[in-house]
Structure 1
Amino acid sequence: MLYGIAAATTALLLAAVLAALFRVPALRLGLVDRRRQRPLPLSGGVAVVLVTCLVVAAGDWLGAARLDGEVRDLLVAGAAIAVLGLVADVWRLKARFLVVGTAVAAAWVVPYGDLGVPGGMLAAGWVTFVAVAFRSLDHADGLAGTVGVLTAFGVAACAAAEVMDGFAGLLSVLAAALTGFLMHNWPPARVALGGCGSLFAGFLLAVVAVTVRAGHGLGVNLGVLFALTAVAGADVVLVVLSRRLAGRPLPRRAPDHLAHRLRRLGLTGQGAAVLLGMAAFAGVLVAVLVHLRWVGAQALWWVAGVTPVVVLGLMRVSVGPARGRRQVASTHGSSQRARVSQVPKASARVSSQVRPQLRVRNG
């Protein structure tokens, strides 16, 4: 217990300090989010990855929390995925390379002994989907970190219930590191996760969730895993459907994610992050209660039923320029043209003694 408190506190403080310290070097090296109107450094992901790996490795080195083979392999695979995400942040790797790399790492760490080969391959595909979905969640300030913290606590609770202390400790440290990162990422953000941190967080969460649920029924497993990552999955489905229906290529970036559409409805950046965080908390809570058998599996149908309704409802929100602004602009332009046409021609005669600067200013 004391080690867990010390490790979480250390991870939180270190992540907050390193995210701030890495901010200036990231700006100088050009490691910034190119989707923003202002340069937003991607130092948060590097800080989260370093802190999580260092704190967990220090616990094993000091003998306070020994790592078994599964946790060690997962940490190594997660670090490799983080490096791949960092390369994508710097050199703009295509999405297919991220998907293939994440799939290979997931196929290496999924528990084939409990799932079998077909189940293991299916689990690897789901892990890849969740990791990419968490990278997609980094489109708004405070969103990926908030959803990651809530999901990490939920999956850690499931791991603790199965007496998987190594996985529970790993995700507790990850949740603390993400909390420290959120100190600089809450709207308006000063740093962002980037592919490095978001792929790392999503990969760890998905692998631990699959390992914890191994050995349970397939139907209930699908429901629990879906509820744990409902917000991230809904964001990916919303983006894919909207871009397909609009005839836009999937890799082309556009303001059509969950938070973008909520902002179009009038919410602030903080309001969108809080609302989506509450949605993530609701899904995680249902998944944890079902895993602990405190409620029946029928509760999962609420998550499975509400999520498609939300996705279909948000698809009706426009992601283009506001129609009202276009109408106001066109009306304003036409009224100005009308006023100009009504000016008498005699007034257009300006004295030659008036300088051009005064004509522009007073015209």
Structure 2
Amino acid sequence: MISGLTAAVAALFCTASLAGFLRFALRRHRTARSLAHVPRHGGIAVAVGTLAAVGAGPALGLVGFGEGVGPVISAGGAVALLGLAGDLRPLGARVRIGVQTAAATVVVAVASGLSPGPGALAVLWIVLVTNAFSLLDASDGAMGTVAAVTALGLAVCAISDNLPGLALLLSVLAASLTGFLLHNWHPARIALGHCGSLFTGFVLACAAVLVHTEADPARATASLFAFTAVVLADAVLVLVSRRRAGRAATEGAADHIAHRLRRSGLTVQGTAVVLGLAAFAGTLTALLVHDGRVAPPAVLPLALGAGVAVVALLRIPVYGDEATGPRTESAREAAAEGAPA
């Protein structure tokens, strides 16, 4: 426990310091054309801070990785590099999905012990959730808040399942995200970018699979949905909205949950808090289902609430001249209007 607390504190300070350094370094290379844009390479700080803090334990002989953690760390590092490459130069969808699928396959094959059928479903789910978390990174503090809450909930599950190494990784990730939020809270001075959002989503998705490998299918499905209800609702909202508007699914626009909440009158900070509270409700439900305190149907109210929220948010106009209502965007959100998804 002491080693885990030390690693978490180290990750928080390492990430916060590195994010500050990146802000300073990137500011010097910003051109006049990009002065209004928030740097999107902050994910480097989250990935490095997390991996360095977790890897320091085994390197110093203080604590071991534990079962299943090594593959998650290695594959997560590969996904972080993929995201960094995408931040530096846009990558094709086939390359992104191919690398993510390969990384997820390694984790499932080596660490989960699932049979081929459930394993294939787990791989698809990991890729889906990884990209759903990446999509949520569209408003100051939103994705970091939701991910930190989810990581802490999964850490509790890992502890109850006697997976200390995985609990350590998740706790360190939550601490890294907290350190990053010091720079990403509104007004954001730096953003996660693909490197940080894909790395975070991938680690959380893999951890969620590993803590549910021993659960029966109904309980595992219900718990997995509850853990990721917010990011899945955002992904569904975006895909349905763009299809109804005749837009390509990969065409970037300010049409996420965060943007619609902003148009309804919430502040940037209020939007992050609302999404964090929604993630907490889903995480608490997932914990109760995972521990057997409630039956899997207990997630039905959560699913109904997510569905009602999506339908209600679809009624808020967000495209072109039809978009009206209160709106006070940060520079990063304004830039996201035309950014590729």
Residue identity in the other structure for 2:233: A
SS class of match (2:288): helix
Q: How does 1:1-363 map to 2 (within 5 A)?
A: 1-28=1-28, 38-68=36-66, 70-111=68-109, 114-321=113-320
Distance in 1 of aligned mates of 2:42 and 2:82: 16
CA-CA distance at 1:42 after TM superposition: 2.1
Kindly indicate whether the alpha-carbon contact (under 8 Å) linking 1:115 and 1:215 is maintained by their aligned counterparts in 2: no
Structure 1 residues 99 and 217, CA gap change in structure 2 (3 angstroms): same
Measured in 2, the distance between the counterparts of 1:249 and 1:80 equals 28
- Identity, % of aligned pairs? 46
CA contact (8 A) 2:184 2:191 kept: yes
User: Would you say the 8 A contact 2:222–2:289 is kept in 1?
Assistant: no
Q: Which residue of 2 aligns with 1:340?
A: none
Residues 69 and 163 of structure 1: is their aligned pair in 2 closer, same or farther, counting only changes over 3 Å?
closer
Q: Which has the higher contact order (CA 8 A, sep 6+)?
A: 2
5+ residue gaps in structure 1? 327-363
The Cα of 1:30 is off from its aligned counterpart by 5.9
1:261-286 CA distances to partner (integer Å, 9 max, x unpaired)?
01111111011111111101100110
Deviation at 1:73, TM superposition (A): 1.4
- Give, in whole Å, the separation in 2 of the partners of 1:27 and 1:223: 45
Contact 2:67–2:165 at 8 Å: present in 1 too? no
User: What amino acid sits opposite 1:48 in the alignment?
Assistant: V
Measure the CA separation in 1 of the matches of 2:275 and 2:324.
Answer: 27
Please provide the CA RMSD for this pair: 2.0
Q: Report the AA paired with residue 192 of structure 1.
A: A
Post-superposition offset of 1:95: 3.1
Instruction: Describe the SS at the equivalent of 1:287.
Output: helix
Letter in 2 for 1:14: C
Distance 1:132 1:310 in 2: 21
The list of structure 1 runs, each at least 4 consecutive aligned residues, that deviate by more than 4 angstroms after superposition, is 28-31, 321-326
Structure 1 residue 67: deviation in Å?
1.5
* d(CA) in 1 for partners of 2:35, 2:287: 39
CA distance in 2, matches of 1:84, 1:307: 31
1:65 deviation in Å?
A: 1.3
Checking the alignment, whether the CA contact within 8 Å between 2:222 and 2:297 is kept in structure 1 is no
**Structure 2 regions of 5+ residues with no counterpart?**
326-341
Instruction: Give the drift of 1:27.
Output: 3.8
Cα distance in 2 for residues equivalent to 1:180 and 1:132: 23
Structure with bigger gyration radius: 1
